[in-house]
Amino acid sequence: MTFSIGSHELAAPVVLAPMAGVTNAPFRALCRRYADGLVYVNEMVMATPVVHANAKTHRMISFGPDERPRSQQIYGSDPNVMGQAVHRLCDDGRVDHIDINFGCPAAKVTRRGGGAAVPARPELLRSILRSAVSNAAPYGVPVTAKFRMGLFDDWLTHLRTGEVCAEEGVAAIAMHARTVEQHYSGEARWEAIGELKAHIVGLGYDIPVLGNGDIWEASDAVAMMEQTGCDGVVIGRGCLGRPWLFADLVDALNGRDVAPSRLLGEVVSVMADHARMLADHLGENHALRDFRKHTGWYMSGYPIGSEFRRRFAMVATLDELDDILGEVLDQCGAETRIVDGGERIKRGHTRGPTKVSIPDGWLDGQQRAALDTDVTVPDDDQQMAMSGG
C-alpha cells in the first residue's frame, strides 16, 4: 500500500504524530530502524521563535543526515508570522514537509482563541493556511494540518475545518477523533473520521484524510481504515515505548503477517540504545532525566515488579541504567513475554475530560455567529513562545 505527501512516496500510509519531549531526532531514528520510508514528524515549534531565529527552537529543528522526508510541525495563530516562519524553514532548506497544529488543547492557549480554538473561526483558519501554503509552494514543500473534532460536542468544527483545508491547497489532513473537552479521556470516536472523509469526498476534493486516536496495535490501524474509509493513520501514544509498532503497521497495511509481541530481551536492548542516542543528543545528565518517562512506557505490560520500576524512575546515569537492565534480565529472563492485553495499556496522557477555556462571550449566540468571519489574531503567542517551542 503506497501513499504520498507531496513528492514523497511512503512505504505505508503511516505518520508519527509530533509529541513534545518525545519525537526528537533520537526517537525518530529509532523508529526508522524498524520502518524507513514513513513520515516521522519532529516536535512542534512555535512560528514566532522560528522567525526571530530563537536558538533553542533551531536546535529543536534537527534531522538526521539521511532522514527523508524532514517533517516539522509548527504552531502559530498569526497568518503573517506563520507565513514568515514557513518561508524561513523552506528557504533555509531545513524541511521537506510542514504540518500545522490546530489541535493544541492547552487552556492557556484556547482561552485566548488560539490552538484548538482557531477552527471555531474559519476565516482566521483560512488566512493562516493560505499564508503557509503560499509561502511553501515555491519550494515544492507540502503543507498538512492536524486538528480535533471541535471544542466540545455542542461545537464541532471538523467538517468545516477539513473543507477550508481542502480549499486552501493543504496536501493532507489529519484528525484526532476527540474534542478538546475530552482531552485524552474516553474512546476516540472513529465515526467522526468517517464523516470527515465522506464530507471531503462529497465536495469533490481528492485530499487524503488521516485518522488519529486509539491505535495501540497494527490491527487497530487496519480496523480504522476499514471502518472509516480514511486514507491513513497518525500514531501518537501507541508507539511510546514501542518503536517497533511502525514495522508492524507497515506489515499489516501491506497484507503481511505481523510479528509477535517483542520479548523482554529485545525491549531491554532497544532501551539501552535509545538512552545512548539521547545522551549523544542532549548530554548524559539531561538525557537520563528525560529517559525516565520512557522506561515506564517500555516496561508497560512486562511483569518485572514494582522495585525495578521504582529504580528506573530514578535512573541518573547510563552505567546505572545498564546495571538495572542487566538485573532485569537476570531475574526475569530475556524470553519473558508481555502479559495478555499488555500492548493495549494506555501510555502517555490520559487526563480528561476537562473544562474548555475560551474567550469571554464566545458562547453568546450573536458573538458565536460573528466568529465565522472574525480574523482577529489571538494574543496567545507568548503563552507558548516562552518554552521555545
Give residue 107's pLDDT: 86
- In sequence order, the 6+-apart residues with CB closer than 8 A to the CB of 240 are 19, 22, 294, 297, 347, 348
Give residue 389's pLDDT: 34
Give residue 379's pLDDT: 80
Topology, domain 3-260+350-385: TIM Barrel (3.20.20)
Q: Tell me the C-alpha distance between 212 and 224, whole Å.
A: 9
CA terminus-to-terminus distance, the chain:
34
User: At how many degrees (to 10) do helices 218-228 and 190-202 cross?
Assistant: 40
Contact 211, 17 (CB under 8 A): no
Give residue 2's pLDDT: 61
Among 186, 255, 260, 187, which residue's Cα sits nearest to residue 225? 255
Q: Can you list the residues of the chain whose pLDDT is less than 70?
A: 1-2, 381-389
Give residue 56's pLDDT: 85
- Give the residue numbers annotated as catalytic, written as ranges: 104
The boundaries of every CATH 1.10.1200 domain in the chain are: 264-337
At the top level of CATH, which class does the domain 264-337 belong to? mainly alpha
Instruction: Express each pLDDT in 222-274 by its tens digit.
Output: 999 999 999 999 999 999 999 999 999 999 999 999 999 999 999 999 999 99
The boundaries of every CATH 3.20.20.70 domain in the chain are: 3-260+350-385
Q: Tell me the C-alpha distance between 148 and 180, whole Å.
A: 7
Give residue 59's pLDDT: 84
